[in-house]
A and B are shown apart, each in its own frame.
Chain A
Amino acid sequence: MTNPRAEEYFRGKRVLPTELRTREFARLPLWVKEQSFFMAGVMDAELAGAFQRASQAVLDGTMGEAEATRIIREGLAKSGYKPEPGQEGTIKDLTTVHRQLINLRTNVALANGWVNDVNRRKSANIQPALKLVRGRNADEPRLWTQKLWPEAVAASGSKASPDRMAALIDDPIWLYLSDFGVPYTPLKWGSGMNQVAVFKSQAREWGLLPPKGKPPEVKPPESLNSTLEVTTSITDPAERNKLLDKLDGLAVFSKDKLVFTDPNGSRPWPVPVLANLLPRQNVDGTENYQKRALREWRNLGGDAAAMSAMEKEFSGTDLLDDWNMLVRRVTTAERIQTTTALVDALANLVSLVL
């Protein structure tokens, strides 16, 4: 069992020039945030690229922070950057080493946070919850226990207790608390707080899971981002195509909305659309998970009996979740009523994809 690598994850990001501030950017879909490199209010792609290269060099271990700031200074000089009047020397001034270091350190910490999040989700069957702990003292620590946590419990729709900083891994409180709109640490700029996974038995004791013998309500699997879409003002077809090219199949336009295709999720799509979606590789270069599940179904016979065999063969694995989401999206989009019709649709998909 090997780890995903922070530096590889970061290398996959694409520079996204934007006028958005961090808080506004945080409202964008998770997949946009995880696949793009942006800096609050920086529209110059070259300049943002310099910050990205500097962060990448630090993550790769080829440069220390001091050396990496040289890349940034060169980028600043090349772009002719000047801080806004009145912002000289402040945290908004990109020429300050302080700002450059905050950017570098936050990027490194977020990349590590992503790796830890991926690993924790793989182990959520035994450690389904997270607690929030302090890992570094601060001169003026934020009021986490007294203010931030209880307020977030009340405002986010969380099922966590306001008195204990712990919640299930998919609880909305993590996204709510994050300045960056991601469910992992660092949750705030320069924060010394960290998530640590909690065993199922402990989560049950803390009331985060139902008592033993009372199984949680089982819902068909639905991906986190299955309904994501953003309204956009981009109307120029050329601009739209340019954006779609950059997003590499992760989104399509539907009227004025940019709709997330949810390649490994549960957003319903008819078979012809899925036939375009499934052959695309994941961002990390691996095979689409639902395509893999579809192949397993075909290998088991690709018929109604194979539907039950999938449940038995892959019980408790991610592959079964992937399979169930594929079945769900096909069933919904094609308005399927019978097993025969479902097997036909899936067989059609096999012929188009595998």
Chain B
Amino acid sequence: MNISLTVDNTQQVSQTLSRFAGLSGDEVAKQSVSPTRELTADHFFAYGNNPANKNKFKVTPTGYWNKAGQATKSSSSGDTINIIVDEKGTPGLVGVRRHYTGGGTIKPSGRISEITQKPIQYLTIPINGAAHGKTVAMMKALGVDLYRKGSALFAKSGNTRSDSDTAMFALKKSIGPQTPNPAIIPTPQQYFETVALVVKNLTDPD
């Protein structure tokens, strides 16, 4: 899933600046494509690097926000700049939009599981640091032997199941709703200031 934002304040900038520099809104938007991408990516990097946003398991971070920054792309169309977090092709980067907008209940898609070859009925929620940032398929690829017991997936600690096995994933029919978190992206004011800096640097002679 992608998050797509339109920074539509270039018009305001261009109206002010066009009188001085003869820059059109389209030109300002075109020149702002890369700088607004950089602002967004930098924001993701800083967000992910903030100790307050550490994962709850206190284990090695998966670099979710780092990936979001690296996968941030931008383009312009007329006087509009579009900033997209391109989740396709970035493993482990899912749901950036949901972080931003929040949202209702998440349920299993019902698609056919690569592992069981049956429709997926449960969401698998990591409940152990060893499973943090990993899918069930990844745990299997890593050689972890998982089995279901009640409403959780356990990892075998030996060749057979035992009471000392550790629960890795909780099985849930649904989760949510998620609280919106607008702080994951820069504020409109930061975008505005960046576009203003673009114009300043464009019109600033060396």
Contact = CB atoms under 8 A, between A and B. Distances in A.
Given A1-B76, A65-B138, A126 B201 contact: yes
Given A65-B91, A109-B70, A200-B204, A139 B42 contact: no
A81 B69 CA distance: 36
Interface in B29-56: 30-31, 33-35, 37-38, 41-42, 44-46, 48-49, 51, 54
B38 to A, nearest CB: 4
Interface residues of A, number: 50
Contact of B65 (A6, A58, A126, A135): A135
B89 A6 contact: yes
A156 interface: no
Contacts of B89: 6-7, 58-61, 108
A134 B88 contact: no
Interface residues of B, number: 49
Given A97-B141, A136-B63, A105 B91 contact: yes
B61 A133 contact: no
B163 interface: no
Interface string B74-89: 1110000000000011
A6 B89 CA distance: 9
A136 B31 contact: no
B175 interface: no
Nearest to A210: B206
A24 B59 CA distance: 34
B135 A66 contact: yes
Nearest to A198: B38
9 contacts: A1-B33, A3-B73, A65-B92, A66-B140, A108-B91, A135-B44, A136-B66, A194-B69, A197-B38
Interface of A: 1-3, 6-7, 58-61, 64-67, 69-70, 97, 104-105, 108-109, 112-113, 115-116, 119-120, 122-123, 125-127, 133-139, 185, 192, 194, 196-197, 199-201, 209, 212, 215-216
Given A64-B135, A192-B49, 8 more contacts: A3-B73, A64-B91, A105-B91, A127-B35, A135-B66, A138-B60, A194-B69, A212-B206
